[in-house]
Chains A and B, each alone.
Chain A
Amino acid sequence: MNVFVREMRANRKALIIWCIGVALLISSSMGKYAGLSASGQSINDLLTQMPHSLKVVMGMGSFDLTTAVGYYGVLFIYLAVMATIHAAMLGANIISKEERDKTAEFLFVKPVSRNTIITSKLLAALVNIVVFNLVTYASSILMVQQFSQGEGGSGEITRLMIGMFVLQLFFLVVGSAIAAKSKHPKTAPALATGILLFTFILSIAIDLNNKLEFLRFFTPFKYYDAKNLMYDRGFETVYVLISVGVIAVLLMATYAFYKNRDLKV
């Protein structure tokens, strides 16, 4: 419990900054929608003339940009990247910082097991990503409703936020597992975000080139694709199962790696 409270305090300031950041991103982006919607249907006409690849890179795909929630769908991928970067760095740092800051010789001579410490830390990280998710959720609902003139959209946003939460969990344990295994505490957060960016770019590459479609299982960003979640198939069982499986394995790996290795002191 004391480790949990300590971690909540230590991460409080960073969490507030991340939350302000995501709320600003949502409100400023949706603010642009206000200008865009004034131009009426013409924006969709413009977009149909844009090359496919450009739209893919911008994350626009086939959204109907004349509706607030369609516009929000484009924004989602950026929110997801931001949320997962936060989660991956948090997961890696929360484990590796004791060794990085050389406080391991303080904490790990206390009468608590490494497993207990990991559990407290992961719980604190979990609360952090839940808060981040809820702030994103609330800002999204608020801003989309501001501009949607009663077309709703909260159902879509709820589905997107559930998808984002699974992505956050996924990269949280990617970060923690890397940090638990790595003997170099400083490189763990960098490695975790590196993997994240790689899978993100892979998801764009798949959109660009149909031949890469078979790689979609290797990037969780494809599991919770905004278009699917909003309009088409919703949550697909196979992807949900893969995510739950990977999260479970990485979670167990975090405990197993950390328990069995020498601490860097």
Chain B
Amino acid sequence: MNVIEINGLTKYYGKERGIIDINFNVEEKEIFGFIGPNGAGKSTTLRTLLALIYPTSGGAKIFGKDCIKHGPEIKKEIGYLPSEVFYYDKMNVIDLLNYSASFYKKNCSKRIKELAEIMDLNLNKRIDDLSFGNKKKVGIVQGLLHEPKLIILDEPTSGLDPLMQQRFFELLQEENRKGSTILFSSHILGEVQRMCNRVAIIKEGKIIQLEKISALQENNYKKIRVQLTAALEQNYFNIEGVSNLEANGNVISFLFRGNINLMMKKLSEIEIANVWVEEPDLEEIFLHFYEKGA
């Protein structure tokens, strides 16, 4: 069953591009990643799903109901964490959370306490005394306190320290085990790879790739840089799977995709001063998909 069905969703702000013809489905109980660089249209898509803004054309269904027409009804079962959290400055954290809970017709006070415990959040502080990271924690508790069936997160980890990110991901996985579906936008490939079953990649308002995380990992690119001690025959690294080969003095860099053992053998046969093996950053992955798409 699909929890979210997006059909030809298009949004223009005046003449400015928002998103163009977005199509994808999120299945029940999956963790779906939505990844793309800043300004690609991730937030626009999520905000349209939540009827904060209205589509220019196309539409989406959540729980089988039109997300604009039945907005208030479907939002009973949605928890949302915006990328930038802003709350009523003069309220206490607990007052804000109770206010949030008052919109859902159930008693959430126990869950609020549990979540605050997990996220290590002081409930008695005023909102405007909180740091950015602590506001984010309020956002997390606020988004989860009514035990929603669908959790929508817009760049949820920005501002959280690594320990909190870790706890937050555990929390999400727990919610997912209990049956929640999660749609999760990010520009950090690593966290999407770790958390998600499937991923949609968006660039300049269009979905350029939609696949299982396992498939994305088969495209396992490594970014390799080698510092040499002596000059080397120019085509030494030019084997299958190598791209973007560049030589800069005695530093050679390239992207490699393929059997990593072959590359390690190649490296071991020469004298080197240093080597860096890195995950390519998102831009480089995008570049790859973008070129393929074009």
Contact surface of A with B, Cβ cutoff 8 Å = 2, 6, 10, 101-106, 108-113, 116, 260, 262-263, 265
Please tell me if the beta carbons of B53 and A109 are within 8 angstroms of each other in the complex.
no
Please tell me if the beta carbons of B103 and A105 are within 8 angstroms of each other in the complex.
no
Please tell me if the beta carbons of B52 and A262 are within 8 angstroms of each other in the complex.
yes
Contact surface of B with A, Cβ cutoff 8 Å = 13, 47, 50-54, 71-76, 78, 80, 82, 84, 86-90, 99-100, 102-104, 142
* Residue from A104, A112, A260, A263 in contact with B103 in the complex, judged by beta carbons closer than 8 Å: A112
A261 and B76 CA atoms in complex are apart in Å by: 22
A10 and B89 CA atoms in complex are apart in Å by: 11
Contacts of A113 in B (CB 8 A): 71-72
Please tell me if the beta carbons of A265 and B99 are within 8 angstroms of each other in the complex.
no
User: A2-B103, A108-B52, A262-B53 given as contacts; is B75 within 8 A of A103 (CB)?
Assistant: no
Please tell me if the beta carbons of A111 and B76 are within 8 angstroms of each other in the complex.
yes
* Residue from B53, B71, B78, B100 in contact with A265 in the complex, judged by beta carbons closer than 8 Å: B53
A260 and B53 CA atoms in complex are apart in Å by: 9
What are 17 A-B contacts defined by CB distance under 8 Å?
Answer: A10-B88, A101-B86, A101-B89, A103-B86, A103-B87, A103-B88, A106-B142, A108-B51, A108-B52, A109-B78, A111-B72, A111-B73, A111-B76, A113-B71, A260-B54, A262-B54, A265-B52
A103 and B89 CA atoms in complex are apart in Å by: 10
Which label, helix, strand, loop or mixed, suits the secondary structure of the A interface?
Answer: loop
Q: How far is the CB of A183 from chain B (nearest CB, A)?
A: 10
Q: How far is the CB of B219 from chain A (nearest CB, A)?
A: 34
A116 and B86 CA atoms in complex are apart in Å by: 22
A111 and B100 CA atoms in complex are apart in Å by: 10
Residue of B72, B82, B87 most packed against chain A (CB within 10 A): B72
Residue of B nearest to A262 (CB): B53
A144 and B13 CA atoms in complex are apart in Å by: 57
Residue of B nearest to A112 (CB): B72
Contacts of A105 in B (CB 8 A): 47, 52, 80, 82, 86
Contacts of A116 in B (CB 8 A): 72
Contacts of A6 in B (CB 8 A): 99
Q: How far is the CB of A185 from chain B (nearest CB, A)?
A: 13
A111 and B51 CA atoms in complex are apart in Å by: 11
A260 and B88 CA atoms in complex are apart in Å by: 25
Please tell me if the beta carbons of A109 and B75 are within 8 angstroms of each other in the complex.
yes
Q: How far is the CB of B286 from chain A (nearest CB, A)?
A: 25
A104 and B102 CA atoms in complex are apart in Å by: 17
Please tell me if the beta carbons of A263 and B53 are within 8 angstroms of each other in the complex.
yes
Please give 13 more A-B residue pairs, beta carbons under 8 A apart, in addition to A103-B87, A105-B86, A109-B52.
A10-B90, A102-B86, A105-B47, A106-B100, A106-B142, A109-B78, A110-B75, A110-B100, A111-B73, A111-B103, A113-B71, A116-B72, A260-B54
Please tell me if the beta carbons of B47 and A265 are within 8 angstroms of each other in the complex.
yes
Contacts of A106 in B (CB 8 A): 82, 86-87, 100, 142
Please tell me if the beta carbons of B75 and A111 are within 8 angstroms of each other in the complex.
yes
A2 and B98 CA atoms in complex are apart in Å by: 10
* Residue from B84, B89, B103 in contact with A110 in the complex, judged by beta carbons closer than 8 Å: B103
A209 and B51 CA atoms in complex are apart in Å by: 52
Contacts of B88 in A (CB 8 A): 10, 101, 103
Please tell me if the beta carbons of A102 and B84 are within 8 angstroms of each other in the complex.
yes
Q: How far is the CB of B130 from chain A (nearest CB, A)?
A: 15
Q: How far is the CB of A107 from chain B (nearest CB, A)?
A: 9
Q: How far is the CB of A260 from chain B (nearest CB, A)?
A: 8
A106 and B245 CA atoms in complex are apart in Å by: 48
A104 and B52 CA atoms in complex are apart in Å by: 8
A265 and B84 CA atoms in complex are apart in Å by: 10
A6 and B75 CA atoms in complex are apart in Å by: 20
* Residue from B80, B89, B99 in contact with A2 in the complex, judged by beta carbons closer than 8 Å: B99
A106 and B90 CA atoms in complex are apart in Å by: 15
A101 and B102 CA atoms in complex are apart in Å by: 21
Q: How far is the CB of B33 from chain A (nearest CB, A)?
A: 21
A18 and B75 CA atoms in complex are apart in Å by: 38
Contacts of A263 in B (CB 8 A): 52-53
A109 and B51 CA atoms in complex are apart in Å by: 8
